[in-house]
């Protein structure tokens, strides 16, 4: 019986702060910090980490709600959904920036990454964190999937030096097309790509959610992988 191609483990980022590490089949490669949705580093985010690890990246998914609910894993409906929004509302901006910096630093220090480049990718809340990573850390590329609130932090665009790719759903109730256009205008002149997926709604990449849209998920993952491969390998 073959061994699993991807090996995973929880590692320490800083005292009390952990992350889910997924290593590629080769055992080494460029680093990729994967920022979670508001539902924690749950089974879906762990699977996404493994998906990118199969693509050749050393992936670290930091548990950013560690101050409030360490290793929380939530579903998408009912009480779990309400808890997720409560956790997001309690996640302060300075804490987020500290978590971004610590996660990138920890991944760069991993022997499996060595001197290779490091990028960031995130979904939903994590999309905003990936954008902030591009603006406030030394990542070499960033990909933001339906990052809510990016349009309210466009004052940080001037600090972005690395290429950034954005993915948005055309029918996102949380992110109107006017917000996407604001991002597009702010990023003009930067090495940025913005993709909008017709007919898709918020959370289209998550196969565990009712909003899952397989054509958009497949197309966006292919675009993100190609973009990250070009920037990081």
> Which of these is catalytic: 162, 167, 172, 206?
172
Domain limits of the chain?
A: 7-232
Q: Based on the number of CB atoms within 10 Å of its own CB, is 223 exposed (0-12), middle (13-18) or buried (19 or more)?
A: middle
Q: Which residue of the set 44, 167, 202, 221 is catalytic?
A: 202
The verdict on whether 44 is a catalytic residue reads no
Distance CA 89, CA 109 (A): 31
Q: Which fold has domain 7-232?
A: Rossmann fold (3.40.50)
Catalytic-residue membership of 172 = yes
- How many degrees, rounded to 5, is the angle at CA 64 between CA 9 and CA 226? 70
Pairing relationship of beta strands 31-35 and 164-169 according to DSSP bridges: unpaired
pLDDT band at 4 (very low <50, low <70, confident <90, very high): confident
Active-site annotation holds for 195: no
Relative to beta strand 17-23, strand 7-14 is: antiparallel
Residue 8 banded pLDDT, cuts 50, 70, 90: very high
Measured CA angle at 44 (ends 41, 48), to 5 deg: 90
| Size of the chain, expressed as the number of residues it contains | 233
Q: What is the pLDDT of residues 10-64, one digit of tens each?
A: 999 999 999 999 999 999 999 999 999 999 999 999 999 999 999 999 999 999 9
Tell me what percent of the chain is helix, strand and coil, each rounded to the nearest 5.
40, 20, 40
The string of pLDDT tens digits covering residues 110-150 is 999 999 999 999 999 999 999 999 999 999 999 999 999 99
- Where are any strands of DSSP class E within 115-201? 118-123, 142-145, 164-169, 192-197
Non-local CB neighbours of 92 within 8 Å, separated by 6+ positions = none
pLDDT value at 194 more than 80 = yes
- What secondary structure does DSSP assign to 127-144, as a single string? HHHHHHHHHHS--S-EEE
Contacts of 128 (CB under 8 A, 6+ apart): 122, 144, 147, 148, 149, 150, 153
Q: Which of 44, 124, 206, 213 is catalytic?
A: 124
Answer whether residue 215 shows pLDDT above 70.
yes
- Chain segment 54-108, per-residue pLDDT in tens: 999 999 999 999 999 999 999 999 999 999 999 999 999 999 999 999 999 999 9
């Amino acid at each position: 019986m073959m061994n699993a191609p991807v090996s995973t483990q929880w590692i320490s980022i800083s005292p009390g702060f952990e992350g889910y590490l997924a290593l590629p089949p080769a055992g080494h490669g460029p680093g990729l910090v994967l920022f979670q949705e508001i539902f924690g580093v749950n089974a879906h985010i762990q699977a996404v980490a493994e998906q990118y690890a199969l693509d050749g990246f050393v992936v670290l998914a930091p548990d950013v709600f560690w101050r409030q609910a360490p290793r929380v894993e939530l579903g998408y409906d009912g009480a779990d959904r309400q808890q997720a929004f409560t956790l997001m509302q309690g996640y302060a901006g300075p804490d987020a920036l500290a978590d971004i910096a610590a996660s990138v630093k920890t991944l760069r220090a991993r022997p499996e990454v060595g001197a290779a480049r490091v990028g960031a990718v995130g979904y939903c809340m994590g999309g905003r964190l990936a954008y902030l990573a591009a603006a406030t850390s030394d990542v070499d590329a960033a990909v933001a999937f339906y990052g809510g609130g990016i349009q309210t932090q466009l004052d940080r665009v001037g600090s972005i030096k690395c290429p950034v790719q954005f993915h948005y759903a055309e029918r996102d109730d949380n992110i109107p097309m006017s917000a996407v256009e604001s991002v597009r205008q702010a990023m003009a002149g930067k090495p940025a790509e913005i993709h909008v997926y017709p007919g898709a709604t918020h959370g289209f990449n998550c196969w565990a959610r009712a909003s899952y849209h397989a054509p958009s998920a497949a197309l966006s993952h292919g675009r993100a992988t190609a973009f990250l491969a070009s920037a990081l390998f």
